Amino acid sequence: MPDAEHQQRMQKLEERIAAARKGQEPRPRADEHYSQAQLAWRMVIELVAGLGIGFGIGYGLDSLFGTIPIFLVLFTLLGLAAGIKTMMRSAQEIQEKKLAETARDERPGDTSGTED
């Protein structure tokens, strides 16, 4: 009889240990955790890339056609607009991820639901 009692106590102890370990496990993150500096650099790079590509296309067209820097100015402005648009899209993506994360964090602890 002591063996059966001992086995029950061991099983209960193992269940308590498993529950304690499960409570201390870190929650999985969505994709990656970005710091604010990384996000800022991402946006700066997107803007500079748009400007650089626009400048390069405009300079190339001006060289090809032998015109005054009309294409250079035009495509630099278009590159600026494209860079700003890309920055805004990135900012919206980051904001949506943060809102989804806060909604997910608030949901499990929410006890204001209706009970039947």
Of residues 22 and 96, the one with the higher pLDDT is 96
Residue 72 to residue 63: CA distance in whole angstroms: 10
Domain that holds residue 61: 36-106
Buried b (16+ CB within 10 A) or exposed e, 69-104: eebbeebbebbeebbeebbeeeeeeeeeeeeeeeee
pTM of the prediction? 0.61
Query: 43 and 90 in contact (C-beta within 8 Å)?
Result: yes
Q: Is residue 31 part of a domain?
A: no
Average pLDDT over all residues of the chain: 85
Q: Is residue 5 part of a domain?
A: no
Domain count, the chain: 1
Q: What is the pLDDT of residues 58-99, one digit of tens each?
A: 999 999 999 989 999 999 999 999 999 999 999 999 899 889
Q: Is residue 111 part of a domain?
A: no
Q: Is residue 72 part of a domain?
A: yes
What proportion of the chain, given as a percentage, has pLDDT over 90? Answer: 50
Indicate the helix (H) or strand (E) that contains 25: none
Q: Is residue 19 part of a domain?
A: no
Q: Is residue 52 part of a domain?
A: yes
> In this structure, what token pair is assigned to residue 108?
């499990």
